[in-house]
Structure 1
Amino acid sequence: MSNFIIAVGHTASGNVGCGVIDRLDESKCTREIGALVTQYLKQRGYGVNLLRIDKSNSYSCQDCYERANQANEIAKTTDIKLYVEIHINAGGGSGPEVLVFGKSEVANQYAAKVCNELSSALNLPNRGVKIRNLIVLNETIMPAILVECLFADSDDANKYNPEVIARAIVNGLIGDNDYCDGEWKNGWNHNDIGWWYSPDPINKYYYTSDNGWKEIEGEWYIFDSRGYALQNSWYHDEGDKVWYYLDDECKMVRGSKEKALWKCINGKCYAFGEDGKMYCDCVTPDGHNISINGEWIK
């Protein structure tokens, strides 16, 4: 898998070098978006380095040089495909644009894809790819792009949604290569790997393990880090230290108040309560002894 550097523009709000503050706070927004882009790329199996410079001195561009220098140090030991710096624009315009220095065809290709995805996801005008002589673009030794997601000082601010923006950027960087081609459906989708659930197919949002248990039409499901529903699989809740089982329809196996639900798995019988938790080291409501490992004691 490719490795990316994701950098958040400017210093933290209130510091020298912070971004524009209008209807949106740029420094806050870039940090929200950058963290999500990093998370989503990692979920898809990509290597990611997140760069964030929160403080600077009176020289307002110091943070830009620091990010470029850090990126170049990482590139000495890691094969970096692309440097991506995230910003929010200002000046009263509308729509995303992506800036490049013009020296890399790779950067230009990525820039066009990211800009297209952002424009489509946010339903805003596509301002396209533009050549700019900026520090983080011409000081980095790898292909680099600077993403202006939308405008902080126009009605664009009403479209701000960090999750939608982050997923659009990720789609521009890597596409939907884990998932089926063509149009996504609202709800359940399937490919050769498994099932995933999208409540927002337009923006290609899907549930992952970060969402925890999800109740869908009265049944409970849980998803892995890539977004696939667990199927014919055990799930261990580390916090409650209990086990659950997801059946061949990806549903949580569960019984009722009056009666446990029994399921044979790999030749052994297990019982589950109405909350889906596997019984262990106890007697079930229907009078059967269960071992400490959850197995029925015959």
Structure 2
Amino acid sequence: MKIMWDKGHGGNDPGAVANGLQEKQLTHKIVEYAMAYLEANYTGFEQRVTRTGDQTLTLSQRTDMANAWGADVFISTHVNAGKGTGFESYIYNGGVSSQTVALQNVLHNEILTAMRQFGNITDRGKKRANYAVLRETKMPAVLTENLFIDSNDAKYLKNEAFLKAVGEAHARGIVKFLGLPRKEKTQPQPKPQQKVSDGKLYRVQVGAFADRKNAEQIAEELKKKGYPVYIAE
């Protein structure tokens, strides 16, 4: 399965800016947390990202990457602006497949549930819009708007634990949609316990013989194997 992540904005386009935050930096963190979570816990997939760092990309470049690669899902992360509050998600407002609707449903619920571990986050709903990254992609595609940068929501966006939880929730939504198998974790082998000496010495007797020659013969064989040997009457 091929997963294409899209970090909204980037480069000379910072996206929304307020409260000492930039949208392009927040979307970068959310996607990085999502990708790391998948890599650590699941298998059976490949994942790519439209921008690895702070590059400037057009909308067409983003969708062309996903289409040329043949991605199975496309997730574009954003942060809202306009003095509102809450979380919302989008799919294309034209003809979309039932798979696209299913992807939006599972992502929306997973992300909102994670956000509400931090506070009473408003559900702004599952919406549709004529966004280029949704319209031009050939696979199920969802765009998420993760709170508002210019309202009281900023207190959450400044919380690294919140961003990590949101990123991992994006990943879990993908896992549920694609049915990705969890990695088998190898159990660490227990280390052998070291015995503490009690100060005593223990001897091992190899044999007892009536004929000394027999004893000497066995002793010689043991010496050849490196064992210290002595014969006692």
Tell me the TM-score normalised to structure 2 length. Answer: 0.69
Identity %: 27
TM-fit CA distance, 1:66: 1.0
Residue 51 of structure 1 is matched in structure 2 by: 50
Match of 2:114 among 109, 118, 121: 121
Match of 2:87 among 79, 86, 96: 96
| 1:86–1:149 contact (8 Å) kept in structure 2 | yes
Give the Cα–Cα distance (whole angstroms) in 2 for the partners of residues 157 and 107 of structure 1: 30
Asked if residue 20 in structure 1 is aligned to residue 16 in structure 2, the reply is yes
TM-fit CA distance, 1:39: 1.8
The aligned runs of 1:181-200 (5 Å cut-off) are none
Post-superposition, which runs of at least 4 consecutive aligned residues in structure 1 deviate over 3 A? Answer: 53-56, 175-179
Structure with bigger RCO (C-alpha 8 Å, 6+ apart):
2
Rg larger in structure = 2
The aligned runs of 1:135-214 (5 Å cut-off) are 135-160=132-157, 161-175=162-176
Match of 1:32 among 29, 32, 40: 29
RMSD: 2.7
Aligned residue type for 2:8: G
Give the Cα–Cα distance (whole angstroms) in 1 for the partners of residues 87 and 170 of structure 2: 11
Tell me the TM-score normalised to structure 1 length. Answer: 0.55
Residue 10 of structure 2 is matched in structure 1 by: 11
- CA deviations on 1:248-276 (whole Å, 9 max, x unpaired) are xxxxx48xxxxxx339xxxxxxxxxxxxx
Residue 213 of structure 2 is matched in structure 1 by: none
| 2:34–2:169 contact (8 Å) kept in structure 1 | no
TM-fit CA distance, 1:55: 4.0
Residue 220 of structure 2 is matched in structure 1 by: none
Give the Cα–Cα distance (whole angstroms) in 2 for the partners of residues 167 and 227 of structure 1: 19
Aligned residue type for 1:74: W
Structure 1 stretch displaced more, 46-55 or 154-163: 46-55
Residue 73 of structure 2 is matched in structure 1 by: 82
Unmatched runs of 5 consecutive residues or more in structure 2: 200-226, 228-233
Give the Cα–Cα distance (whole angstroms) in 2 for the partners of residues 178 and 55 of structure 1: 32
Where 2:194 maps in the other structure, the secondary structure is strand
Question: How many residues were matched structurally?
Answer: 182
TM-fit CA distance, 1:110: 1.3
| 1:38–1:50 contact (8 Å) kept in structure 2 | no
Where 1:146 maps in the other structure, the secondary structure is strand
Aligned residue type for 1:72: N
| 2:100–2:141 contact (8 Å) kept in structure 1 | yes
Where 2:130 maps in the other structure, the secondary structure is coil
- CA deviations on 1:157-182 (whole Å, 9 max, x unpaired) are 22232211111111222139767xxx
Match of 1:65 among 55, 60, 69: 60
Asked if residue 262 in structure 1 is aligned to residue 194 in structure 2, the reply is yes
Larger helix percent: 2
Unmatched runs of 5 consecutive residues or more in structure 1: 57-61, 180-225, 234-245, 248-252, 255-260, 264-285, 287-297
